[in-house]
């Protein structure tokens, strides 16, 4: 695909992310100590709560650096757009979009992650919620 064609797809993704965030379809929360309730799965970078709730929450680990926070938000928003996609595709999209977004687009996404964080020890892993594992 030519660079200009790729740019069209990347910008369409950004417009959709902006719509989801500006219309508060997904609420972003900063969380400290985000851990799975399944001990073998360990700590999480992010988590999307969608199961049966009117409000959808993207939880982002507050201990991540800025680039990892942006990547994790991209990851969780991809889950929102493609709820049945295989996880490997979500990771692939996360990496492609992070690489292709402009600095201005990345700063916008970072600005949507609150500076005030909450402490949550465990999150329930329901059938329609998604999680991203820590690389640590």
Instruction: Write out the residues near Zn ion by the rule CB under 5 A.
Output: 130, 132
Q: How far is CA 30 from CA 9, 49, 63, 125, in A?
A: 28, 13, 9, 18
Nearer to Zn ion, 62 or 94 (CB): 94
Non-local (6+) Cβ contacts of 64 within 8 A are 45, 72
Q: How far is the CB of 46 from Zn ion (least distance, A)?
A: 7
Nearer to Zn ion, 101 or 130 (CB): 130
Closest CA to 124 of 30, 34, 27, 24: 34
Q: How far is the CB of 88 from Zn ion (least distance, A)?
A: 10
The H or E element that residue 100 is part of is: helix 87-100
Neighbour count for residue 16 (Cβ, 10 Å): 14
Nearer to Zn ion, 11 or 85 (CB): 85
Nearer to Zn ion, 21 or 44 (CB): 44
Q: How far is the CB of 10 from Zn ion (least distance, A)?
A: 20
CA dist., res. 45 & res. 58, Å (int): 11
Q: How far is the CB of 61 from Zn ion (least distance, A)?
A: 13
Determine the residue with CB nearest Zn ion: 132
């Amino acid at each position: 695909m030519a660079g200009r064609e790729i740019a069209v797809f990347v910008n369409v993704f950004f417009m959709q992310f902006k719509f989801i965030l500006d219309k508060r379809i997904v609420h972003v929360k900063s969380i400290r100590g985000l851990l799975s309730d399944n001990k073998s799965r360990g700590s999480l970078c992010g988590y999307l709560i969608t199961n049966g709730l009117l409000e959808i929450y993207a939880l982002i680990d507050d201990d991540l650096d800025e680039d990892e926070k942006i990547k994790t938000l991209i990851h969780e928003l991809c889950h929102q757009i493609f709820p049945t996609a295989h996880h490997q595709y979500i990771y692939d999209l996360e990496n492609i979009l992070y690489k292709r977004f402009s600095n201005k687009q990345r700063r916008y996404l970072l600005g949507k992650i609150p500076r005030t964080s909450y402490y949550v020890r465990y999150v329930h892993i329901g059938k329609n919620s998604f999680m991203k594992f820590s690389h640590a």
